[in-house]
Structure 1
């Protein structure tokens, strides 16, 4: 009921005609108002007394409005009768109820009862209060027909019957409206479900692009349009498996979504961009030249290369071909685009050095310091050669030192925030970075051989390190070297997290930790090596 207005339930124009007719027939003024006095119909006046005399007076008009509002508020089962507050006439109110709720009131007025006619002096007082001419007031009030209480009771009975019928009609209309609303809601829900199913049938739920089914339907339709200039693009996301293996499927999904958003945002409205499964995307470009298709491929590749939101490069290999409908099928055209895509993919594999990209992201986040990393790698190479390592072995050790902290890429972004002490859980996460680094190194051909060195690069000579708490010579010598060179570089070079200690203080500290953190023999050799290295670096 709260959701519907009186005007929603009734035909107001019809009610107005009905009330106008009843007013003339019964010779009473009639109108319908809401519980708070709001007008639902105009006043149906059978005579001009109230309209042309009383309401022409500001005082009379205000009193009539107060009287009508008071009558409108009554919601009794039987008619309510009272004197009007303006001219001493008789008013009444008949309630229209729906399911116990007061919907409206039928107001009745302009009545002179034979048993309750004021004297002439009282009429003059009323005229004076209303600031009206007394003679004019008397002339018009005496023109109102006089009826008995019995006659007025019959009129109210008639109007009560009408109000009861209106109440029943309102109830029926409400039921119908509720039924219609329910049907409309069901229809809307059905349409929404239908739209959702249709969307699921043709859209990829992860990326929002069209799916393989929609692509194949459209490709079949276009394949019958011989002579139309159509280009096809084949695209394949790079590093999806690597992303899933290293950073998890959530990161892999984000990689696909980012590529999809770029491909869709750069496509024209009449192009169809689809994800056809896994890391595979396709684009149908009707009425498009090969030059335009190639430009699209270049812009997609460029926008992906500038996206630095992921820990691995956002990269997609693309190939385009234009359809020669006279000599090949549309599928043949796609096969040519696909072949070009794989050529591009092979070239990208050699161009993109993923481990370096990961380190760059760690530098950007200020998790690692580029100068410390590069200085450690150089020192490690020269120290390994000083110890008599073969050139190849020394280079491998230096490579391991360069990427020993690559596993930091799996730490939360919050670890880039400095000046805050870590919780115990965060410390455990941080120590796990060497395990992540080991796993990541095994994914890359260029780092596969040094994965074990990375795994043990944070072990201590006395077994108090991590992740496996191994000790002594069980720690690979390459890892023991990296532990020494990495700590020396970190403590002596200035960084936002510390360092910048004097060489003398660092050397003293390392001597004190010889036999606990560091291999004692290697520390002795390192202290022999250090002056010459520092001299070469300063030169």
Structure 2
């Protein structure tokens, strides 16, 4: 279990963690832990209240990958500032991973806890393959927003972050927001608001492909990342769907609309900067719709 630290003892009564007092005795139900920065993919350990970097390794190495995970549960936990769980297979054993953000010196990291729930269950190569496929399918489900069926906020942020590390291929990002959502909820009820979100999601999900990923990133907020697409290519690809979202009948002859903008990624622009740029353009469109 390379770069995992063995645990054997007790948890604090209130369940909280004072990071500077974190030690291997904090979580009795888990077998191993590690501290990661899911943005930089670095691994750390606690040395008497100080974080020490483990050199020459990445957090994804433990899964036998040569690249970042397609769905990084730790990035999801970091972005949403919440606890997440995930199944993983390590050295033929099945582990439950529980991850949550921790703060040290005003910087946020993620604590990953691992519990062996397979008890060396995998006996043969065939069983190992089957279990690997099951874990992959379960984690794919975990990468989705359960209500809309689109990808989750955490998945999308991780995908954008990974793609923007590469300055070679073009990338375009679409940000979308439903207009007058509060008015719709207040006047037609939250049920109609939910129906509207589902209608929009059902259209956006049609865009998904090997290089296009649509996500619900908030209550009425959506993003679509186009990998190896210019803005013009992304507009051409998504135009039929976007046309369908121009006017959406709610009830009583009231039509909802969406505001959206697509932004090209410029050279050396990171994930946060790309999202902020596309968001800014989208809100300018939203302001125009509001004034009209």
- State the TM-score, normalizing by the size of structure 1: 0.28
- Scaled by the length of structure 2, the TM-score of the pair is 0.50
Which protein shows a greater Rg? Answer: 1
Give the strand-richer structure, 1 or 2: 2
Larger helix proportion, structure 1 or 2? 1
Larger RCO, structures 1/2 (Cα 8 Å, 6+ apart): 2
